[in-house]
């Protein structure tokens, strides 16, 4: 039995096991809908892309509906390519790139080869919004059945052979009405949770900025209060997952997080000769290449699993002189907006912002007494812990709301609403 036949059998057996209400029936999608493919006009002819016909790709499938597209093509482009125009009000699905996505069209729209238009053969039997919600309910099934070495996709016969539960049209309208109301309420609750999550994060950031903006302290440079380790240029062929000596590369240094990897280990021969490049648990590492990315400054704390690791080139490590500077205080300062601005003013290129070791060593640090530093560190740790609790609560709520959507969808197409 082929994979396609196995999949069809699984879906058919699942549908047979359902106890559907009276008046419902199971149909093959291809029996009740036309499934239409798309194509891409030649990119060599730029005039093809100077028209007013909407032409959709997966990049345009950003939300439930599509009202405009990145590209507009001409009538000639439609005639001289395999694209097809899907009438407004119908749905399109992604069957290759973006597998599992589904959108309703607000306007007549041509589609590319990664998409399929699904058009009911009779609007007296299928409501387009009902069809849209049904595809949403089986998106994970479609994704799981994708095949392909580089890009996962499903073929036309698979889509046409999907079994769709069809109640009478009046019942479809009732289901759509319930789903629309339910999802509107869920989306509102989700938006509130996302805003609360954002507020929780901003609360800590705001307090952090206030600490370093309002303090009237003298300043010392990084090199005056820490030992600065500039990474060593280890030979690329020495890195291997079979070696036992941990190393820290720029890929390990995330924005306020240390990213553990398992293929950057060095041979034991470096254990003795490279002591000057060794770090301990709790030391601070900062990426010197692409120091700033869209989410912030790449700085992290060395975890216990990397105790004794060696620092590779384009990474710097800071070992605080603890008689002068609190580790926690220094780390909190390094993740502040003030340091972000300093780095932004000193990086040598905007395309790939690199921070020089000299500019890092000369970075000024507000320098209260060690007692004040420790007090600030405790206060920040306490606020961070409370903030993380709130973030966890709101993140779980957002996930729960998404699961609720899935549950309602599943019930809808089992006739349980």
What CATH number is attached to the domain comprising 287?
Answer: 3.90.220.20
* 141 and 40 in a common domain: yes
Structurally, the chain folds into a number of domains equal to 3
Q: Which residue has the higher pLDDT, 263 or 39?
A: 39
**Does 152 reside within a domain?**
yes
What per-residue confidence (pLDDT) applies to 142? 93
Lowest mean pLDDT among 111-125, 258-272, 304-318: 258-272
Q: For 49, which DSSP code?
A: G
Mean pLDDT value across the chain: 91
Predicted local confidence at residue 2, as pLDDT: 54
Q: Which of 72, 85, 8, 107 is nearest to 39 (CA)?
A: 85
pLDDT at 273 over 70: no
Strands 284-287 and 315-320 turn out to be: antiparallel
Write out the DSSP string of 227-280. EEEEPB---GGG--TT--B-EE-GGGB-BSSB---SS--B-TTHHHHTGGGB--
Residue 196 in any domain: the answer is no
pLDDT in tens, 227-260: 999 999 998 899 999 998 999 999 999 999 999 9
Bridge-partner residues for 28, per DSSP?
A: 163
Given a cut of 50, whether residue 362 has pLDDT beyond it is yes
pLDDT band at 8 (very low <50, low <70, confident <90, very high): very low
Indicate whether 248 and 353 sit together in one domain.
Answer: yes
**Burial (CB count within 10 angstroms: exposed 0-12, middle 13-18, buried 19+), residue 291:** buried
Answer yes or no: do 388 and 282 share one domain.
Answer: no
d(CA 42, CA 191) in angstroms, rounded, equals 41
Last residue of a domain, one of 103, 134, 167: 167
What's the mean pLDDT in 374-392? 92
Residues 64 and 97 both lie in one domain: yes
- Cβ atoms of 280 and 307 within 8 Å: the answer is yes
Cα(360)–Cα(221) distance, integer angstroms:
9
What does the radius of gyration of the chain's CA atoms come to, in whole angstroms?
29
Domain-located, residue 210: no
- Tell me: do 226 and 346 sit in the same domain: yes
Q: Read off the pLDDT band of 109 (50, 70, 90).
A: very high
If asked whether residues 292 and 382 sit together in one domain, one would say no
Please report whether residue 211 resides in a domain: no
pLDDT surpassing 80 at residue 351: no
Q: How many CB atoms sit inside 10 A of residue 44's CB?
A: 6
Given a contact cutoff of 8 angstroms between Cβ atoms, the answer to whether 35 and 116 are in contact is yes
Q: What is the pTM of this model?
A: 0.69
Residue 190: pLDDT above 50?
yes
Phi-psi region of 314 (alpha: psi -120 to 50; beta: other; left: phi over 0): left
Is residue 417 domain-shared with residue 294, that is, in the same domain? no
Cβ atoms of residues 216 and 279 within 8 Å:
no
Instruction: Say yes or no to pLDDT of 28 above 90.
Output: yes
pLDDT score, position 14: 46
pLDDT above 90 coverage of the chain, percent: 76
Predicted local distance difference test score (pLDDT) of residue 15 = 46
Residue 299 confidence class, pLDDT cut points 50, 70, 90: very high
Say if residue 4's pLDDT is above 90.
Answer: no
The percent of residues in the chain predicted with pLDDT above 70, rounded, is: 95
For residue 408, CA distances in Å to 16, 24, 166, 403 come to 20, 18, 17, 9
Which residue in this structure is represented by tokens 């096991």?
17
Q: Does residue 212 sit within a domain?
A: no
- Per-residue pLDDT for 136 more than 60? yes
Is the same domain home to 123 and 228? no
DSSP 9-34: HHHHHHHHT--PPTT-EEEEHHHHEE
Q: What share of the chain is helix, strand, coil (3-state, %, to 5)?
A: 45, 20, 35
pLDDT at residue 58 is higher than 80:
yes
Does 42 have pLDDT greater than 70?
yes
Region of residue 304 (left: phi > 0; alpha: psi -120 to 50; beta: else): alpha
Tell me whether residue 287 is in a domain. yes
CB burial of residue 97 (10 Å; 0-12, 13-18, 19+): middle
Domain extent for 378: 168-191+371-417
338 plus 397 within the same structural domain? no
pLDDT (0 to 100) of residue 350: 61
Average pLDDT over residues 56-67: 95
Q: What is the mean pLDDT of residues 282-298?
A: 92
From the list 414, 17, 208, the residue with the least C-alpha distance to 406 is: 414
**226 and 136 housed in the same domain:** no
Q: Mean pLDDT, to the nearest integer, of 271-285?
A: 89
Supply the pLDDT for residue 17. Answer: 43
Query: According to the model, what pLDDT value does residue 274 have?
Result: 76
The count of other CB atoms within 10 Å of the CB of residue 15 is 16
CA separation for the pair 205, 173 (Å, rounded)? 47
Whether 207 maps to a domain, the answer reads no
| Residue 349's pLDDT band (cuts 50, 70, 90) | low
Note the pLDDT of residue 320: 96
Write the burial class of residue 221 (CB in 10 Å: 0-12 exposed, 13-18 middle, 19+ buried). middle
pLDDT at position 73 over 80: yes
**CB of 284 closer than 8 Å to CB of 318:** yes
Domain contains 200:
no
Q: Are both 233 and 245 inside the same structural domain?
A: yes
Answer yes or no: do 362 and 245 share one domain. yes
């Amino acid at each position: 039995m082929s994979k396609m036949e196995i999949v069809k059998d699984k879906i058919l057996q699942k549908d047979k096991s359902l106890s559907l209400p009276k008046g419902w029936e199971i149909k093959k999608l291809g029996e009740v809908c036309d499934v239409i493919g798309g194509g891409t006009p030649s990119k060599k002819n730029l005039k093809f892309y100077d028209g007013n016909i909407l032409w959709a790709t997966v990049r345009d499938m950003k939300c439930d509906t599509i009202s405009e597209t990145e590209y507009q093509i001409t009538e000639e482009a439609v005639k001289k390519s395999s694209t097809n125009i899907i009438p407004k009000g119908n749905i399109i699905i992604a069957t290759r790139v973006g597998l599992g996505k589904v959108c309703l069209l607000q306007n007549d729209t041509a589609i590319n080869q990664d998409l399929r238009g699904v058009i009911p053969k009779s609007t007296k039997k299928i409501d387009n919004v009902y069809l849209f919600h049904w595809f949403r309910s089986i998106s994970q099934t479609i994704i799981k059945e994708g095949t392909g070495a580089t890009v996962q996709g499903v073929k036309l016969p698979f889509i046409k052979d999907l079994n769709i539960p069809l109640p009478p049209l009046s019942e479809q309208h009732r289901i759509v009405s319930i789903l629309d109301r339910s999802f509107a309420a869920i989306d509102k609750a989700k938006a509130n949770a996302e805003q609360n999550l954002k507020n929780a994060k901003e609360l800590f950031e705001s307090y952090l900025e206030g600490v370093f903006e309002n303090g009237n302290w003298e300043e010392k440079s990084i090199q005056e209060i820490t030992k600065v380790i500039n990474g060593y240029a280890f030979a690329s062929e020495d890195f291997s997952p079979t070696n036992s000596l941990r190393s820290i590369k720029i890929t390990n240094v995330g924005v306020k997080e240390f990213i553990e990897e398992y293929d950057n280990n060095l041979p034991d021969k470096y254990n003795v000769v490279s002591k000057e490049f060794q770090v301990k648990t709790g030391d601070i590492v900062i990426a010197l290449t692409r120091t700033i990315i869209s989410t912030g400054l790449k700085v992290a704390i060395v975890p216990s699993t990397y105790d004794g690791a060696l620092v590779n080139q384009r990474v710097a490590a800071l070992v605080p002189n603890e008689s002068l500077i609190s580790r926690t205080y220094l780390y909190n300062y390094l993740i502040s907006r003030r340091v972000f601005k300093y780095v932004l003013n000193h990086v040598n290129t905007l395309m790939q912002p690199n921070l020089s070791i000299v500019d890092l060593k000369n970075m000024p640090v507000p320098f209260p007494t060690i007692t004040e530093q420790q007090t600030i560190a405790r206060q920040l740790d306490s606020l961070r812990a409370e903030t993380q609790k709130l973030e966890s609560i709101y993140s779980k709520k957002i996930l729960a709301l998404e699961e609720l959507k899935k549950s309602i969808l599943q019930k809808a197409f089992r006739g349980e609403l």
